[in-house]
A = this chain, B = another copy of it.
Amino acid sequence: MHGVRTYLLIFIVSKLQVQVPPTTTTVGGTTRWNPSPDQIRVLEMLYRGGMRTPNSFQIEQITEELGKYGRIEGKNVFYWFQNHKARERQKQKRAALLTLSTTTTASTLLPPAAETKEGVETKKEEACEDASSRKRRCRAWEDVVVHGGGDDAGTEVADDYYTDDDVTLELFPLRPDQGK
Contact = CB atoms under 8 A, between A and B. Distances in A.
A6 to B, nearest CB: 4
A110 interface: no
A101 interface: no
| Identical chains bound together, number | 2
Interface stretch (A11-19, A36-44, A88-96): A11-19
B54 A174 contact: no
Q: Which of A10, A75, A141 has its CB near the most chain B CB atoms (within 10 A)?
A: A141
Given A51-B180, A172-B55, A6 B15 contact: yes
A174 B166 contact: yes
Interface of A: 1-22, 24-25, 27-31, 33, 49-59, 71, 73-75, 78, 137, 139-152, 157, 161-162, 165-180
